[in-house]
Amino acid sequence: TQVLRKSLLKGVVLSTGSLLVYETHKLISGFAEVHASFKVEEVIEQADYLYGSGETEKLYRLLVQHKNSDDDELLWRLARSSRDLAQLSSTSAEEKKQLTYDSLEYAKKALEKNESNSAAHKWYGICLSDVGDYEGIKTKIGNAIVIKEHFQRAIELNPKDATTIHLIGIWCYSFAEMPWYQRKIAATLFATPPTSTFQEALRYFQMAEEADPNFYSKNLLFLGKTYLKLNNKKMALLWLSKAKEYPAQTEEDKQV
């Protein structure tokens, strides 16, 4: 009986010890998860600051360290950053191509991690369009419907995102001014080829401006260009003047 009591007592002590180890492990694991989460938030905060400051190269160097992350918010920002770096005039043709394909992979991974991420849909559409520049006009036109679907999904998830509304305007503008030979290619790829008008493009550019006035130099430029296509020179002059006077912060603003 005494041996049994000792054994039981020892068992209780062991169980208590095991429980203590288990609870300590839980505490450490929980702390690690919170710490990891905090680190991601810290990187995102730093990334957004660099993006707002126009620090394209520094931003890319920060985010590319996290290219194996499973965080969709980090991944779509890396896709955007890779594309922005590819757009710089100082980036070589070889690097530009690699960055363009990399950006699409990052955006795709962000979508796989979270299909409900509006920004991931937006940047997947943008990056897919960029890749089309390397794969020929057939691929670019063939991807057009998919690109628009991702932009539309992005707007469903975030109706106030002026940039995505602008991008659908660009999509409409591109199809409205598509040359005849590209229309023939589209006709071979689709039973009903995608089409649009300058009036439709104008509506999206206006909607983008209403959502966030003066948010993007390129939206001002395309309002002016679209009004020119519609032969409204007075309104074209108004918006082109605004684009000309826009305070240039990025290389794209300077090009505009």
On whether residue 120 sits in a domain, the answer given is no
Output the pLDDT for position 29. Answer: 46
On whether residue 54 sits in a domain, the answer given is yes
- Residue 103 sits in a domain whose CATH number is 1.25.40
Question: Quick one: which of 135, 80, 132 has its CA closest to 102?
Answer: 80
Output the pLDDT for position 172. Answer: 97
Output the pLDDT for position 180. Answer: 87
- Percent of the chain scoring above 90 in pLDDT: 71
pLDDT in tens, 98-143: 999 999 999 999 999 999 999 999 999 999 999 999 998 888 888 9
Give the integer Cα–Cα distance in Å for 166 and 175.
14
Output the pLDDT for position 6. Answer: 42
Output the pLDDT for position 186. Answer: 85
pLDDT in tens, 164-186: 999 999 999 999 999 888 888 88
Output the pLDDT for position 252. Answer: 87
On whether residue 96 sits in a domain, the answer given is yes
On whether residue 11 sits in a domain, the answer given is no
Task: State how many domains the chain has.
Answer: 1
Q: Which residues of the chain have pLDDT under 50?
A: 1-36
On whether residue 49 sits in a domain, the answer given is yes
The string over 70-108, giving b where at least 16 C-beta atoms fall within 10 Å of a residue's C-beta and e elsewhere, is ebbbbbbbbbbbbbbbbbbeebeeeebbebbebbbbbbb
The domain of 47 spans 30-114
On whether residue 147 sits in a domain, the answer given is no
Output the pLDDT for position 244. Answer: 96
On whether residue 53 sits in a domain, the answer given is yes
On whether residue 82 sits in a domain, the answer given is yes
What residues contact 200, with CB distance under 8 A and at least 6 apart?
172, 176
Question: Quick one: which of 243, 246, 212, 250 has its CA closest to 227?
Answer: 243
